[in-house]
């Protein structure tokens, strides 16, 4: 298990990717997700296959980058990647499966949509996705592997854009700002307005709000 964090330069020397290249794999897909924790909106998984040993200046874990930098890098990733794809899983499906299973399902679908078939997968986290391809689950993969960092950016930017569109469809919750996370603003709006169709009913704050409103109506 690789856990040591390193600089965003992503020098291939000593990296997990370098190890897998030396083992003979050449089409390594990085996988990451955005949106496991929010109360509303989809979870979005992304898969990215970068050319071996590509150095993409500024590439880093999406969580440490500004929105503007993520947008800039997204365009560059899409331009230079051998293949990339995204897959979203809606709130209703998350409620049906649970968030972990929904995320893994989205990751498998993202792999299946790649225009270049990968020969190895690096999954951010501790759980593999069992997509019929050799794989490694790596803690902090988005800080250790360029392809996973790229996937984290694709997933994050895609989901942020989705939440901005949902903010127009369902005004009042502040989705354009909180992206569905349980901020004070969002929880206050949830209490006042009740859940919208994009809220995850299986998540406790949403479920509790629904129950409270039913009691009040009765």
Beta carbons of 49 and 147 less than 8 angstroms apart = yes
The three-state secondary structure class of 58 is coil
- Give the closest residue to 83 by CA, choosing from 51, 35, 116: 116
> Do 144 and 47 share a structural domain?
yes
Average pLDDT of adjacent 10-residue blocks, the chain of 218 residues: 40 77 96 98 98 91 95 97 98 98 98 98 97 96 95 98 98 98 96 96 92 55
Whether 28 maps to a domain, the answer reads yes
pLDDT at position 4 is: 35
CA dihedral 199, 126, 74, 102 (to 10 degrees): -30
195 exposure class (CB count in 10 Å sphere: 0-12, 13-18, 19+): buried
- Give the closest residue to 190 by CA, choosing from 178, 202, 204, 172: 172
Which CATH number belongs to the domain containing residue 42 in this structure? 3.30.420.10
Range of the domain at 213: 172-217
Strands 43-49 and 83-89: antiparallel
Number of domains in the chain: 2
> Do 163 and 71 share a structural domain?
yes
> Do 201 and 98 share a structural domain?
no
pLDDT at position 209 is: 87
pLDDT at position 53 is: 86
The three-state secondary structure class of 37 is coil
pLDDT at position 71 is: 97
Pairwise CA distance, residues 56 & 10, whole Å: 8
pTM: 0.91
Q: In angstroms, how far apart are the furthest CA atoms of the chain? A: 66
């Amino acid at each position: 298990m690789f856990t040591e964090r390193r600089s965003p330069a992503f020098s291939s020397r000593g990296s997990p990717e370098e190890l897998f290249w030396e083992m003979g794999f050449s089409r390594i897909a990085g996988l990451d997700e955005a949106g496991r924790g929010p109360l509303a909106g989809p979870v979005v998984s992304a898969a990215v296959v970068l050319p071996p040993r590509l150095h993409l200046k500024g590439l880093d874990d999406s969580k440490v980058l500004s929105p503007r930098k993520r947008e800039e890098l997204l365009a560059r990733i899409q331009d230079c990647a051998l293949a990339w794809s995204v897959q979203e899983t809606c709130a209703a499906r998350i409620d049906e499966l649970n968030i972990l299973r929904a995320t893994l399902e989205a990751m498998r679908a993202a792999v299946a949509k790649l225009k270049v078939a990968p020969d190895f997968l690096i999954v951010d986290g501790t759980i593999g996705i069992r997509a019929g391809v050799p794989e490694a689950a790596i803690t902090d993969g988005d800080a250790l592997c360029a392809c996973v960092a790229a996937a984290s950016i694709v997933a994050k930017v895609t989901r942020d854009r989705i939440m901005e569109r949902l903010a127009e469809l369902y005004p009042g919750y502040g989705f354009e700002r909180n992206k569905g996370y349980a901020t004070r603003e969002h929880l206050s709006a949830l209490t006042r307005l009740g859940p919208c169709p994009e809220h995850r009913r299986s998540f406790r704050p949403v479920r509790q709000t629904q129950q409270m409103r039913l009691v009040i109506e009765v």
